[in-house]
Amino acid sequence: MKIRSLVLPFLAIIAVIAIGFSSCKHINESTELGGGLIPPVDNINTFDTSLTVETYNNIFSLANDSQYIARSEEYFLGRINNDPFFGKTDARIFLELKPLFYKFAFANSDPTKLKIDSVVLVMSYADTYGDSTIPQTVNVYEITNPNVSDFRADSSYLVRKNNFTYSNLLGSRTFVPTILDDSIKAFKDTTINQMRIKLSNSFGLRLLGYDSTATGAYANDSIFRTKFQGFALQSMNTGEALMGFNLQSSNTKLAIYYKFTNATVTDSTTVAYFGFNGNSVLDVGASASANYIQRDYSGTPVQASSGDAVQDQFAYIQGSPGTYANIKIPGLASLNNRLIHRAELIVEQVYDPSDAKYTTPEFLYLDAADPSITTSNYKFRTIPYDLQYTPSGFDLSSFGVKPITAVDAGGHTIKTWKFNLSRYVQHVLTHTQSVYDLRLFAPFSLNESYGIPPGADLIYPFFVNPTIAKGRIRVGGGNHPTQRMRLRLVYSKL
What's the whole-number mean pLDDT along residues 57-68? 89
Q: Assess whether 380 and 454 both reside in one domain.
A: yes
Instruction: Name the residue range of residue 360's domain.
Output: 2-60+298-492
By C-alpha distance, which of 224, 281, 226 is closest to 100?
224
Write down the mean pLDDT value for the chain: 89
- Given 267, 296, 325, the domain boundary residue is 296
Taking the model in full, what pTM does it have? 0.88
Q: Does residue 365 sit in the same domain as residue 269?
A: no
Residues 6+ apart with CB under 8 A from 109: 211, 212
Q: Measured between alpha carbons, how far is 489 from 348 in angstroms, rounded to an integer?
A: 17
Alpha carbon distances (Å) from 241 to 78, 136, 192, 490: 6, 9, 20, 43
The verdict on 287 and 311 lying in the same domain is no
Point out the domain boundary residue: 243, 263, 296. Answer: 296
Judged by average pLDDT, the poorest of 6-20, 115-129, 198-212, 291-305 is 6-20
| pLDDT on residue 273 | 96
Contacts of 275-280 with CB under 8 Å at 24 or more apart are 275/97, 275/98, 275/100, 275/250, 276/71, 276/95, 276/96, 276/97, 276/247, 276/248, 276/252, 277/96, 277/98, 277/100, 278/71, 278/153, 279/248
- Which stretch of DSSP H or E encloses residue 90? strand 87-95
Please report whether residue 9 resides in a domain: yes
CB 171 within 8 A of CB 255: no
- Residue 221: pLDDT above 80? yes
Tell me the C-alpha distance between 23 and 3, whole Å: 31
Number of domains observed in the structure of the chain? 2
Q: How far apart are CA 324 and CA 317, in angstroms?
A: 5
Q: What is the mean pLDDT of residues 343-367?
A: 98
Q: Where does the pLDDT of residue 29 fall: very low under 50, low under 70, confident under 90, or very high at 90 and above?
A: very low
More reliable by pLDDT, 463 or 109? 463
State CA 7 to chain mean position distance. 39
Compute the average pLDDT of residues 260-266. 74
Q: Do residues 212 and 218 make contact, with C-beta atoms less than 8 angstroms apart?
A: yes
**What is d(CA 120, CA 118) in angstroms, rounded to the nearest whole number?**
7
Residue where a domain stops, chosen among 296, 330, 364: 296
Q: Is beta strand 289-296 parallel, antiparallel or unpaired with respect to 87-95?
A: antiparallel
Query: How do residues 370-388 score in pLDDT, each as one tens digit?
Result: 888 766 566 889 999 999 8
What's the pLDDT tens digit per position in 391-417?
Answer: 889 999 999 999 999 999 999 999 999
